[in-house]
Amino acid sequence: MADVMLHAPSPTPALEPIGGRIRRCRQLRGWTQEELAQRAGLNRSTLTLIEQGKRGSEMSVDTCWRIAWALGASVDMLIGLPELRG
């Protein structure tokens, strides 16, 4: 049998950390951290910590969903699943 994947790929983050993805999406929309935080119902300081990678691994599913919804993106995109799936 040729190379057959017997298990799902590792759930480790893809090339770019979640905070970087959030920052990039926010900047593509021309929004400040304050604007995204307000749209997502978060404190700007919380968003700053997430974008800096100081809180991304501890982010709740609710917070991730709020940010994704505010950006018009999916949670899958924010955590890098499209890249992991190929």
- Tell me the one-letter amino acid at 16: E
pLDDT of residue 16: 79
Instruction: Give Cα separations from 75 to 2, 78, 80, 84 (angstroms).
Output: 34, 5, 9, 14
Q: Where are the domains of the chain?
A: 18-85
Dist. CA 54–CA 18, nearest whole Å? 11
Residue with tokens 């770019």: 16
pLDDT of residue 80: 79
Q: Per-residue pLDDT tens for 4-57? A: 445 444 445 456 788 999 999 999 999 999 999 999 999 999 999 999 988 866
Architecture of domain 18-85: Orthogonal Bundle (1.10)
Mean pLDDT of 68-72: 96
